A and B are shown apart, each in its own frame.
Chain A
Amino acid sequence: MVGWIGQAALRVLFVFIAASIVIYLVNFRRKSADTLKWSRILMLIQFCLAFVAATSLLSLLLSENFHYVYVAEYTSRSLPLVYKIAAFWGGNQGSLLFWALILTLYGTIVTFSKHQDSRRMLPIVSFIMTLISGFYVTVLNFAANPFVHTAALQPASGLNPLLQNPGMTVHPVNVYLGYIGFAVPFAYAMAGLVLKKTDATWLRVTRRWTLISWLFLSIGIIYGAHWSYEELGWGGYWAWDPVENASLLPWLTATAFLHSGIVQEKKGMLKGWNIILVSLTFLLTILGTFLTRSGVLWSIHAFANGPMGSYFGVYLTVFTIGTLVLIVLRWPVLKADRKFEAVVSKESGFMLNNLLFLGITFAVFWGTLFPVLSEALTGNKLMVSAPFYNEVALPLGIVILILMGIGPVVAWRRGTMKSIVRSVIYPLLVSIILGASASAALNAFYHRQSWLGTLSIVGAVFVALTVFIEFYKSVRARVRLTGESWGLSLWRLLGKNRRRYGGYIVHFGIALMAVGIAGSGAYHINVQQQLSRGQSATIGNYRLTFEGMGVTKLNQNSRMYANLVVHSGHRTLGVLQPAATFYANGQEPSTNIALFSRPLQDLYVVMLGTAPNSQAVFDIHVNPLVEFIWYGGYLFVIGTLVSLWPEAFRKQGRDLADGPVQNETERLYQELADLEYDYRMNKIDSGTYEINRQQVSETLRALEEHRQDLRNRILDELGLEAKLQSGAHRSGREDGRERK
């Protein structure tokens, strides 16, 4: 019965979405005034139907109804509750349903929101969201139905043991939430194009959506890396395989977008570019899903394996072409409000940042699709291995790192080389000295040498230093101005400009991660050794003595472990127990690594197998600084949250002259504030400051006058209307309501 309801909900949802599309189109054609009301109702019903389907699948999973193929394939009776829930998104069909659920949820939240110009924008936004949901619901109905029911009970195969890990509840959900979220800014960008509305409204409205999606995706990626490090037992955390790359691609373009969006918000430039970036991000999320499910990269012959691939292929093509056509048609209205004024400026710095991010994106894309592309171009199928990605991404990453240190000290509009050099020369020298000594120390300890490693540590120290200096200078300026204590000043400063300082905290997190990646990538050491009882292996400053094997029972499964006593110098640190789990149901055994984590290095031990005469073979790694990646990850999350936290609620007074004029005025006030900041932080000299300030102030004055004019005119006209309607029943009532 429950399954029947779910199945029915899914079918009805399909029909309903088709009907919704017709209703939208009719409403658009008629220019109906009720379009927004309709959109809200349609979105809400879509979500309710998806919710019914999802709830019913979940209850099938929880009630162990093995008449359903999906339930039997991904759960078993003995499976702990949390993994029964996780099975919802653990498989293909279920994850698509999860996708449809979240997409309609996001769509509903968006359509019920209210912001500047929302009456015009929201119907189109929700129409685009409906088109996207329509695709997933089509696949769910015709190619990947989670509610396939059989009369006979299916044998339960259970969730693979490697997936039975808390990671299963964190990693995929985060990646999905991130992936799906990018549909919102995309829908807004398209709505803006349709309406020929190319100001930064959509950027402001969707900033939170973009940031939250980006945060989810980042957490998903970092957590996935951590999971693979602790679970898979090959000693690393990132292998550049197609699935990992698929999650990285939209992350890279979204990161570029987060930066270039600032330029449009502040300066009204890069409008077309931002639309391209947000579309690219959205399309890459579909491509990512396509790559992970279609088998394109694994199958040798067919382009798409089975119906799943062709559905995604069609979807991807349709959306790509649609987006391209819309962008080309609207290109003339995407003109920038102003030009680049100088080669050296924050604007051009952001441009360079974007190019580097896109460069990495292109390389990863090229490498991932190389087998397909090379076959299409030359007839021979070629593929690239991990060194390809490292050779491109690492150098570009280091350049980005250095730019991250320089960027904050470059002024908007016009910077000068001289002032940049003046501000970065000392931090740069200090970081070269610190970074070089750190890598010399690593070199002495691990006997590894790497230019890239040294450079990225230098870059990371540089970023950390500049972030610190930026905080220090701002707090000092505030302390001098207000006479507050340093602590209070820092707190208020964080509160005042969360976006800027949250961003700096994220930068600092990235610097930590860079140290971790450089350390574990360049100075990692590894030894494989076969040991008899009592024998020892030595690696780095550790000595591991093999003291024999043992077996424990875990539920029905058995776990074979080795005891390795770890010494460092004369100290005994403890016992590590790398193990292998053997499953009662005949599944292949899985390895369980043993980890001894210290802030500066991880000792990572895998038991590869046993040999006659109770010997065992171990794979032992020492990963220097790898923990910094996870520390950096935490900071990264904190920084993004700071940046997301709503600014102190400003009076949301709705001005009669709301709209473009007000936007421009607000932008100019912000520009004035930034100018003040640049000047106080010594990024520009007093001459440039005065000239720019006068310019902005004059424009602002003119605008304020214009705005006042506008307000008066509106008031006049309203007054006129009121006079005309005076005595009329309706207007009287409205007045009454207003007075309350």
Chain B
Amino acid sequence: MATRWKLTTALILVVAVIGVLIRTAVTHASSYYVTVHQLTTEGRQAIGQKTTVSGEIVGSSVHWLPAKSLLTFTMKDKSSNNTIPVTFHGAKPDDFSNNWPVIVSGTMGKNGQFEASKLLIKCPSKYKAKGQTKTYKASPTVKQ
């Protein structure tokens, strides 16, 4: 019986440690996950919050400055006409075209510009609903 009891205690301890690990990691690395529409209706409240936004790329708005490694574009919503302007310092993904679904993580600036630190686009694997994703991280500023 003693063996069983000791073993159980040890295992519970391990489970607790894993639980704590997950809990702290969640607080470190979680962010709100909203649509463009939800973000625009939040208004000023959204400023400065760590947020992840999903929407679609407006093809005509994509502007890529390789020299500064600066990507600016507008994101739109499928369900409403609201849009937000996004800036991202990093590589421009392949397949960055009109209506392509995109997810950006970052913060909403005071000027209404969304500063993205991470960009996620669907990979063109051809499952209709959903393909693979590809992550782009913001890069350190480009040396000139």
Q: Residues of A with Cβ closer than 8 Å to B?
A: 73-74, 90-92, 95, 159-160, 162-163, 228, 232-234, 239, 241-244, 292-295, 297-298, 300-301, 305-306, 308-309, 339-343, 348, 351-352, 355-356, 359, 362-363, 366, 370-371, 374, 380-389, 391-392, 395-396, 526-530, 537, 588-591, 606, 608-611, 615-617, 619
Contacts and interface: CB of A to CB of B under 8 A. Distances in A.
Contacts of B139: 526, 528, 619
Given A352-B11, A609-B66, A243 B129 contact: no
29 contacts: A74-B126, A92-B128, A163-B124, A233-B94, A241-B120, A243-B133, A292-B130, A297-B130, A298-B101, A298-B122, A300-B38, A301-B79, A306-B128, A339-B3, A340-B3, A340-B7, A351-B7, A352-B10, A362-B22, A374-B33, A381-B32, A382-B30, A526-B139, A530-B66, A530-B143, A588-B95, A608-B66, A609-B64, A611-B67
B133 A293 contact: no
A619 B18 contact: no
B6 interface: yes
A388 to B, nearest CB: 4
Nearest to B96: A588
Contacts of B64: 609
Given A292-B130, A588-B96, A387 B25 contact: yes
Instruction: Determine the interface band of chain B, counting residues with CB < 8 A from chain A.
Output: 35 or more
B7 A591 contact: no
A530 B67 contact: yes
B32 A382 contact: yes
Contacts of B7: 340, 343, 348, 351
Contacts of B67: 530, 611, 615, 617
Residue in B6, B95, B130 with the greatest tally of chain A CB atoms within 10 Å: B130
B130 A293 contact: yes
Interface of B: 3-4, 6-7, 10-11, 14-15, 18, 21-22, 24-26, 28-35, 38, 52, 54, 64, 66-67, 69, 79, 91-92, 94-97, 101, 103, 105, 118, 120, 122-137, 139-140, 142-144
Given A340-B7, A355-B15, A617-B67, A391 B133 contact: no
Given A90-B126, A343-B10, A588 B69 contact: no
Contacts, number: 207
Given A163-B125, A396-B18, A529 B143 contact: yes
Contact of A388 (B26, B34, B91, B123): B26
Contacts of B144: 530
A588 B94 contact: yes
A593 to B, nearest CB: 11
Nearest to B55: A300
A253 B38 CA distance: 37
Nearest to B91: A608
Contacts of B124: 160, 162-163
B6 A343 contact: yes
B133 A239 contact: yes
Given A359-B15, A385-B105, A608 B21 contact: no
